[in-house]
Structure 1
């Protein structure tokens, strides 16, 4: 569901026209993650006509609203909710003819730079739909205080304060400049579709910050008075404020657009949904492989430009007699010599505290690491090219599969389960997490969080990783019974350990890999510090 601030603001305006003056008659649920609100004109005691229904789906992986013409309430497995708000008590109602009728809707509003929508009721009550990432909820307020929740498990929602939902944000050019030209800090509710579109345009057009800002302003204008697009994006129905993907239908009314999208989304059968998920996984893997090939090729090409460390060592050794030391030092800070490989001058930076010959030896030592890295990068490119070939073949195979049973068999055989899926439980809230080939990788956030991960949430069979000789995040690959840790999973976890460390900018980083049983923390060590009794080392390129 498209729940960015701009869509919710326009939806609020449309709903206000439809709801204002109606009464909040009842609220019920027939599904753990779904709730129905009924608004209507009062006809008499416990009777109403012209109902307006709001059906809210509030799952961690999908949340949104629809506005069906009718909703059939089941006689069983149905529970009344928010009765204290939707019904008057006898003491509240001055007129017995209107006993237990709902409170009147006095308005609908959105909130500045926030993914929330509020239905305002008389007597200072409000029903707020909260679309916060994987924690959507329906929250009832009396003035500023939460009085009831739909999802009781989200206990932190009891601390919400109605008057603090608005988030004023400086969205000027100066603020964009101060944010290092990261538009997401200024427009936090753009959502994935808008952010992905902008990032693609920035790269495709190679826009400078001033040009990016002009494009951002154009997008904001479009979001403020949009056409609503029901489209197919990444193999699934999507509601968008931008014309992206395979557009199925256009709307000018946000309620009609939402209903159409909702119908399409729920109308996708199990086979199409699972096949789409698998294809998204393959597209993600292919994009990641292509990105790694591009990065590694650029590094290889950069090494071919200019003199290598070995060549600079040879040039220094051939010109030792021409290098004049600065008084009091063994070598000058730099020296310009003839590059006899290319027949042109070359300026070589030296370490003044070393002799010219020792500087040459230093370049020879670096050249050995350089060759190791070149071999590693070349092997990475070859591996990723092979992976892309395999992905293309798998997509061809999937096109010929027409039954759910065959699809699931193929998916299991080739490890194509959704690697985008995330565990929404306690662990995922405590640590950063990645899923690679169904193996969970947990990443500590800071020194204290590292201790929590290693000491309480990692077990002896888990694999533990850390960038060698520098501070950084503890990384844990969770063990799966009877399954060895795949090489590509270890490599990906090592890339993350390197990235979340002080070696992030290194071209190649050594990473410790060891079973958790060889990691211990004696008393007296500082937060995040441990002793590793046995270790292997893998060399990787730091990768977020």
Structure 2
């Protein structure tokens, strides 16, 4: 028989050999005690409390997927809300015995009047069942509906676990409850290359360890594990099964629940950092391309210096480039005068400078966003308590990352209590106007040129927009347009309900049915400007 090398040790809490010793320890603690409480305060956790005189003993059954185990607090304070009583029929019954089923990961707390609580610890199929006279009465985990049909009287399994039985039936047929951790241990120690005699010796050795174990909470690969034999970095060692369970739960749950809070957030941050790096790579390349080829103004100056030498209706001409001390071939519009061609190159130079400026702003903005994300990532990695992580998330407004919501996609400013949202490009403009703007919001755009859509968010307590707010938003709209360097820029404004997009129009293009115009000086946002 060959074992999969991928099967590794990690958590032996639900291993049959540990449960057998745990149920034996529980017998010493619980026999003679009375069931006093059984309730749930979350869908995957059941609290069972026993008492005798002034002494209490609790069992906490945590049946979270991938985290199924039992722990044993000496006392427990029940919450006053979000709590439901379960297994009420068995309350006040006294524990008579604890029955461990042979070769089965299940045990029964047997109580008076034929009541019992069955612990079925089958990994992700674990469940707690109330039984009476051998019949299942109630399930804790209702999703495992098949547990309703468990025949408690048939849980014991008798197996021939002698040497002869092993030779005849193999490992799985003889010791099906050995567990993947012990199997991995055998593989690691040469099981697959050993003959039957040597395998039996190896098997006898590991069974001896499992039947008379110490319990080890270890750390490996930054994870907390529970073993019945020593391997890895030992964090805690004991020969008391209940103490071992409590210690493992404390260490594992601390790491488990911390990672449950932290890992999805870190994953989302890493995803956005990767997207940002891609964005910056593309924009760095475009910025370098623009700055290296930014000769439109120089070409215009060369044309102006040679107006007398350029014949009419010329498509292409070679002129002396006094910037680089050589000849340059310049393309011209044959239907325009040389002076008009120079004006075209001057306009291209102005637009190119504007694009370069916008690229610089976008790059700086993205770099700042990456710094913030990296700061959050470093801070989250340093936190070791769930409450600290939750506090950090709330304080820094990271809930949107938890929900996988996009980072706010527009530039946003606040002036006189009004929010001003600014689109970043043509596609982003459509997103702002078509999906994020309300019909009562004020919509603005520089007139007759390409530029950002700007929206001033409407406020119910202040239904009209003050003139200084309109002017502030208009100056921003002018600044984020091709008229950015003009002395004055006409800006249209209107309620968003008068702005519509026609089917088939390119990104960013809209139709305005009703508008007003303000003539304003383009200016970046500043709180100090009124």
Normalising by structure 2, we get a TM-score of 0.47
